[in-house]
């Protein structure tokens, strides 16, 4: 069993027009995002990181590479750490234009994320695939810490599924750019800390301690 599993939201993307990214290729981090990623690396630097896995999308890979530069652990890609496919439906459109181009969809996503019916992939499926990756990596790496770099909805969905929290709360306390959600694996996964790059750069500062000890995750996430 891994000591900790760190769920990392990729750092800020160079996206001045505020477009929906989805799986758009060639997206790099902004200068601020690059500094965020480096702070993540410094934050996790004291930990015995034994594995770093990333979404295949460039913004996640670049964040993972900055973490790897501190730990010396190679970055590996897992397709199940990709973003929720809802973002591909809106890809390339400004967030500010979604209500006009896709009437009612953004409102449905924000108000009832578990009930959206205009994409093939349900939120339960997103949460399940990310949570399943975390569980498999926990089994594969019995010593040390595991880092998983992904996207906001994927990270939040996995976080909620692993800690047995309701997926309806997807938009509550969402991870910011470069955020690190640290979980302790076990029969019930416990959230140890939630950290942002604007916080202290040292791991173990427990002023942000959050412990979640609820039961099994909702929906089809039994694996």
CATH number at residue 32: 3.40.50.1240
Token digits of residue 20: 């929906």
Q: Give the mean pLDDT of the chain.
A: 89
pLDDT at position 203 over 80? no
pLDDT at position 209 over 70? no
Is 216 contained in some domain?
no
Closest Cα to residue 219, out of 123, 144, 139?
A: 123
Q: How confident is the model at residue 206 (pLDDT cuts 50, 70, 90)?
A: very low
User: Residue 199's pLDDT is what?
Assistant: 81
User: Residue 208's pLDDT is what?
Assistant: 42
**Lowest-pLDDT range of 108-112, 122-126, 198-202:** 198-202
Share of the chain above pLDDT 70, in %: 89
Q: How confident is the model at residue 77 (pLDDT cuts 50, 70, 90)?
A: very high
Q: How confident is the model at residue 221 (pLDDT cuts 50, 70, 90)?
A: very low
DSSP notation for 68-101: HHHH-PPEEE-GGGSPPTHHHHSTTSBGGGHHHH
User: Residue 42's pLDDT is what?
Assistant: 94
User: Residue 212's pLDDT is what?
Assistant: 39
User: Residue 215's pLDDT is what?
Assistant: 37
pLDDT at position 142 over 90? no
Structure-model confidence comparison of residues 114 and 205, the more confident one: 114
Q: Which domain holds residue 31?
A: 5-208
Is 80 contained in some domain?
yes
DSSP notation for the chain: --S-EEEEE---B--TT-B--TT-TT--B-HHHHHHHHHHHHHHTTS-EEEEEE-SSHHHHHHHHHHHHHH-PPEEE-GGGSPPTHHHHSTTSBGGGHHHHSTTHHHHHHH-GGG--SSSS-HHHHHHHHHHHHHHHHHH--SSEEEEEE-HHHHHHHHHHHTT--GGGTTSS---TT-EEEEE-SSS-EEEEEE-TTS-SSTT-GGG-------SPSSS---
Is 164 contained in some domain?
yes
Q: How confident is the model at residue 26 (pLDDT cuts 50, 70, 90)?
A: confident
Is 40 contained in some domain?
yes
Is 217 contained in some domain?
no
The domain total for the chain is: 1
How confident is the model over 22-33, as a mean pLDDT?
90
pLDDT at position 102 over 90? yes
Is 215 contained in some domain?
no
Is 214 contained in some domain?
no
pLDDT at position 137 over 80? yes
């Amino acid at each position: 069993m891994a000591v900790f599993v760190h769920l990392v939201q990729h750092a800020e993307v160079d996206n001045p027009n505020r477009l929906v990214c989805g799986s758009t290729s060639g997206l790099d981090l902004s200068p601020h995002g690059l500094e965020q990623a480096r702070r993540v690396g410094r934050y996790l630097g004291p930990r015995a990181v034994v594995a770093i896995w990333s979404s295949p999308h460039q913004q996640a890979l670049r964040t993972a590479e900055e973490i790897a530069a501190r730990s010396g652990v190679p970055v590996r890609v897992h397709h199940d750490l990709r973003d929720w496919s809802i973002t591909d439906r809106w890809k390339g459109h400004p967030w500010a234009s979604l209500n006009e181009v896709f009437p009612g969809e953004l409102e449905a996503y924000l108000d009832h994320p578990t009930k959206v019916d205009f994409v093939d992939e349900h939120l339960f499926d997103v949460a399940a695939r990310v949570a399943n990756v975390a569980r498999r990596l926990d089994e594969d790496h019995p010593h040390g810490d595991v880092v998983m770099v992904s996207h906001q909805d994927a990270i939040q969905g996995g976080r909620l599924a692993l800690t047995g929290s309701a997926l309806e709360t997807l938009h509550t306390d969402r991870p910011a750019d470069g955020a690190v959600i640290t979980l302790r694996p076990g029969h019930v996964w416990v959230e140890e800390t939630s950290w942002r790059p604007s916080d202290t750069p040292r791991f173990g500062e427990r002023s942000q301690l959050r412990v979640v000890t609820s039961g099994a995750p909702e929906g089809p996430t039994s694996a």
